[in-house]
């Protein structure tokens, strides 16, 4: 308990750290705004469904509970991790902001709709936590998969912690599988997410060196 309180005392009383925290929060809020704008755009302009080699083989499976409640629980766990290890907050927020920014940019470039529109609309209307998640998702925000890419990004950030690394890697794998089985993403959205997330991590390490050093 003393170590936990000391972590927070050192974090919240360091002016340099608080400055980086303020910057990271600002970037995160901007990224959410850009995501909302891009999501609104995809609701209007996404209208095409294209064939997919993997999805043409696999049947549509009901993954609504994992897709929504699973994502909600994942966010709560992440918040808990950051509360326990506040030194990660600035770098995680900045990396997340860059992830959202890149994804927003890619979303408006490809005008495709969900591979299984009927099923997507069904789980949208049947799930009680949809209103929270659909503020940053329209169903047509396909490229690239956040369910697969974001946990992988966190695995890279928390790589030095064995248990967190494995948890986020497992979460990434589960996210990739459910969006494929539910036909909520094209396979290219999922497979590309890992490479893009790695790129986001490396860019974050380059631009946010001081925040990254806090985590080490």
Residues 37 and 119: their CA atoms lie apart, in Å, by: 24
Q: Around Cβ 34, how many Cβ atoms within 10 Å? A: 18
The 10s digit of each residue's pLDDT in 117-173 is: 555 555 555 554 455 555 556 567 788 999 999 999 999 999 999 999 999 999 999
The whole-model pTM stands at 0.89
Residues 42 and 185: their CA atoms lie apart, in Å, by: 14
List residues bridging with 112 in a β-sheet.
Answer: 48
The 10s digit of each residue's pLDDT in 95-111 is: 999 999 999 999 888 87
């Amino acid at each position: 308990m003393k170590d936990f309180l000391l972590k927070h005392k050192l974090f919240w009383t360091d002016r340099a750290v608080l400055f980086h925290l303020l910057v990271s929060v600002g970037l995160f809020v901007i990224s959410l705004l850009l995501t909302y704008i891009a999501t609104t755009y995809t609701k209007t302009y996404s209208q095409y469904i294209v064939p997919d080699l993997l999805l043409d083989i696999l049947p549509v499976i009901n993954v609504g509970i994992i897709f929504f409640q699973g994502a909600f629980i994942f966010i709560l766990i992440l918040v808990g991790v950051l509360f326990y290890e506040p030194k990660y907050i600035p770098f995680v927020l900045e990396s997340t902001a860059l992830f959202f920014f890149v994804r927003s940019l890619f979303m408006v470039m490809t005008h495709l709709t969900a591979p299984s529109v009927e099923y997507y609309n069904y789980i949208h209307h049947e799930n009680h936590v949809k209103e929270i998640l659909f503020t940053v998702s329209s169903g047509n925000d396909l490229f690239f998969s956040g369910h697969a890419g974001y946990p992988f990004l966190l695995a890279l950030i928390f790589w030095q912690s064995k248990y967190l690394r494995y948890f986020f890697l497992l979460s990434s794998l589960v996210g990739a599988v459910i969006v494929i089985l539910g036909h909520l993403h094209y396979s290219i959205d999922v497979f590309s997410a890992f490479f893009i997330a790695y790129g986001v991590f490396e860019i974050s390490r380059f631009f946010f060196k001081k925040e990254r050093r806090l985590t080490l």
